[in-house]
């Protein structure tokens, strides 16, 4: 699995909504133990630093990954979110303190032996999918622990999980994921994605390990690549070349933006 560590050099999942309330909220990403680098992008922490006036409608955009998250005041209600191909929104309370685990592509199905398509565009109680990890979160983590202690406990748990298993995966799938990330999702599946797998084999592997087909995965990666390189102001002003990101024209871009962000560029701005 060490090959997946190269992916983080060309792609890091991004949630733009974490930047929208800097006066009231704090968002941090914490790197895992270096031995977990092939499995986990980062642990993330999102909390209020002072109470919100009216709560917060938190808009989640697709990032190509599977996440686990939990509220420290209610660790027994941990959630797993699958790959998504459309935006969703969650109403957060006036005060909250969330922790999450963002897994590298293909890793969650490897660790928990589950077909990723069963999670696609869905939220599940973690105890229905990964009861061992759900029990660990319930019994070991709470608001009394410092972030560093929580991270230490998470590292210990996932090191125990990954050290106890011999993972086998077709590295041609990892090569395909790596190529998609390196091109920002802007490539031809037929002409550019040459990994030694047939299109049928590639779709089967992507569905099982990612949660959707290569075309949809490319769409999400392209959108993520765009978001990380452009401000919403620039988007609203249409001050960029659509072709640089693989969009045919403005209408193609706006349609995908609305699907993946939940609003048009001008509404988002």
What digits encode the pLDDT tens for the residues 230-261?
Answer: 655 555 555 567 777 788 888 888 899 899 98
- Is pLDDT at 268 greater than 90 in this prediction? no
Structure tokens at 15: 């949630």
Domain ranges for the chain, please list them: 2-163, 171-268
- The dotted CATH code for 171-268 is 1.10.10.60
Per-residue model confidence (pLDDT) at position 166: 76
In which region does residue 94 sit, left (phi positive, over 0), alpha (psi from -120 to 50) or beta (all else)?
alpha
Identify which of 203, 241, 245, 190 has the alpha carbon closest to the alpha carbon of residue 222. Answer: 245
Per-residue model confidence (pLDDT) at position 2: 53
Tokens 């599946």 belong to which residue?
189
Instruction: Please state the pTM of the whole predicted model.
Output: 0.91
* Inter-residue contact 268 to 232 (CB < 8 Å): yes
CA distance 147 to 141: 10
- Is pLDDT at 101 greater than 80 in this prediction? yes
Per-residue model confidence (pLDDT) at position 4: 55
Per-residue model confidence (pLDDT) at position 20: 67
- Is pLDDT at 198 greater than 70 in this prediction? yes
Mean of pLDDT values over 160-179: 88
Identify which of 46, 18, 4 has the alpha carbon closest to the alpha carbon of residue 176. Answer: 4
Q: Order of strands, edge to edge, in the sheet holding 25-30? A: 25-30, 40-48, 97-103, 67-71, 74-81, 123-125
Identify which of 231, 187, 221 has the alpha carbon closest to the alpha carbon of residue 12. Answer: 221
- Is pLDDT at 267 greater than 90 in this prediction? no
Mean of pLDDT values over 145-153: 95
Distances (CA, A) of 24 to 4, 68, 73: 35, 24, 19
Under DSSP, is residue 254 helix (H, G, I), strand (E, B) or coil?
helix
What digits encode the pLDDT tens for the residues 13-67?
Answer: 988 877 667 788 999 999 999 999 999 999 999 999 999 888 788 889 999 999 9
What digits encode the pLDDT tens for the residues 173-191?
Answer: 999 999 999 999 998 888 8
The average confidence (pLDDT) of the chain is 88
What digits encode the pLDDT tens for the residues 201-235?
Answer: 999 999 999 999 999 999 999 999 888 876 555 55
What digits encode the pLDDT tens for the residues 103-117?
Answer: 999 999 999 999 999
Tokens 């969009």 belong to which residue?
247
E strands, 21-133, are 25-30, 40-48, 56-60, 67-71, 74-81, 88-92, 97-103, 123-125
* Inter-residue contact 110 to 173 (CB < 8 Å): no
Under DSSP, is residue 147 helix (H, G, I), strand (E, B) or coil?
helix
Query: Could you tell me what percent of the chain has a pLDDT over 90?
Result: 59
Per-residue model confidence (pLDDT) at position 240: 63
């Amino acid at each position: 699995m060490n090959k997946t560590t190269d992916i983080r050099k060309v792609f890091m999942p991004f949630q733009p909504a974490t930047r929208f309330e800097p006066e009231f909220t704090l968002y941090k990403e914490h790197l895992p133990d270096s031995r977990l680098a092939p499995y986990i992008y980062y642990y993330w922490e999102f909390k209020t630093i002072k109470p919100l006036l009216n709560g917060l409608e938190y808009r989640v955009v697709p990032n190509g990954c599977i996440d686990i998250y939990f509220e420290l005041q209610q660790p027994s209600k941990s959630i797993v979110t699958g790959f998504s191909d459309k935006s969703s929104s969650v109403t957060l309370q006036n005060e909250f303190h969330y922790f999450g685990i963002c897994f590298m592509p293909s890793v969650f199905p490897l660790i928990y032996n589950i077909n990723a398509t069963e999670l696609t565009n869905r939220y599940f109680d973690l105890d229905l999918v990964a009861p061992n990890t759900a029990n660990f979160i319930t019994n070991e983590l709470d608001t009394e622990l410092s972030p560093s202690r929580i991270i230490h406990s998470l590292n210990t748990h996932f090191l125990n999980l990954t050290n106890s298993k011999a993972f086998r995966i077709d590295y041609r799938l990892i090569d395909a994921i790596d190529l998609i990330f390196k091109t920002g999702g802007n490539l031809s599946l037929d002409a550019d994605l040459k990994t030694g797998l047939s299109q049928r084999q590639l779709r089967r592997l992507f569905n099982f390990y990612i949660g959707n087909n290569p075309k949809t995965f490319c769409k999400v990666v392209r959108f993520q690549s765009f978001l990380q390189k452009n401000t919403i102001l620039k988007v609203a002003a249409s001050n960029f070349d659509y072709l640089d990101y693989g969009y045919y024209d403005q209408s193609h871009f706006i349609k995908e933006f609305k699907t993946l962000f939940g609003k048009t560029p001008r509404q988002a701005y």
